[in-house]
Amino acid sequence: MKNKIVWAMLAAMFLVSMAAVAGENREKRNRDDYTCSLPMIAGSWGLIESGTLILRDLNGNILATGPMATAGRYTIDAHGNLSGAWTASEAGKTTPANLTGTATVNPDCTGTITLSLWDPSNPETSLGGGTSFVVYVDNARKALMVITSPPIPYPPPNGGFGMLGMTLTAEATKLFPGGDEDQ
């Protein structure tokens, strides 16, 4: 009887260890096979962005800084076309904008988003634009971003000419993971 119990325990331990090895191999195989694509990132996204605007003179001296934050929603189709809307708050001044642009993604889940911003009350009026470096995580259900646009010409408060730069990061979450409502 004692031998049967020992053999049953050994058999159970063997089966558990085999299942664990198979699970590890399946997980490793899935990780190794995992790549991102435009159809994978297609869908509706919610976005929040925050950071600092930095106004410098042409010599690089900081003239002023101020906080900036945005919240919005955008959609990427399976071809990388992007459209949406957001509201930005720049040092307390809010500005809504419509968004158009493109998204790219590499097999390693890095990519870019390039945006053009448009005045919703006058769609012919550009409000600027920019580019972000993106890393898609959590099976492309989240996107982590840093704005990589170079400084733009901007008149400083005391006249003359300056450059407006920014240090902004953003995070976007897919609104309907696994759904194809907007694809």
- 42-53 residue pLDDT tens: 999 999 999 998
Place of tokens 């053009």: 116
Assess contact for 25 and 60: CB atoms under 8 A: no
29 Cβ neighbours under 8 A, 6+ residues apart: none
pLDDT tens digits for 114-157?
Answer: 999 999 999 898 888 899 999 999 999 999 999 998 777 776 56
CATH domain 38-174 topology = Porin (2.40.160)
Mapped onto helix, strand or coil, the DSSP state of residue 169 is strand
Band of pLDDT at residue 177, cut at 50, 70 and 90: confident
Residue 94: φ, ψ to 5° = -95, 145
With the CA atoms of 108, 76, 53 and 95 taken in that order, what torsion angle do they form, in degrees rounded to the nearest 10? -170
What's the CA gap between 112 and 145, in Å, rounded? 9
| Predicted local distance difference test score (pLDDT) of residue 126 | 87
Q: What six digits make up the tokens of 72?
A: 């919005």
| Helix, strand, coil fractions of the chain, as percent rounded to 5 | 20, 55, 25
What's the CA gap between 154 and 164, in Å, rounded? 6
| Predicted local distance difference test score (pLDDT) of residue 183 | 42
| Predicted local distance difference test score (pLDDT) of residue 94 | 93
Nearest to 147 by CA among 50, 13, 22: 50
In angstroms, the first-to-last Cα distance of the chain is 63
pLDDT tens digits for 57-69?
Answer: 888 888 889 999 9
| Predicted local distance difference test score (pLDDT) of residue 12 | 58
| Predicted local distance difference test score (pLDDT) of residue 86 | 95
Nearest to 167 by CA among 147, 153, 143: 147
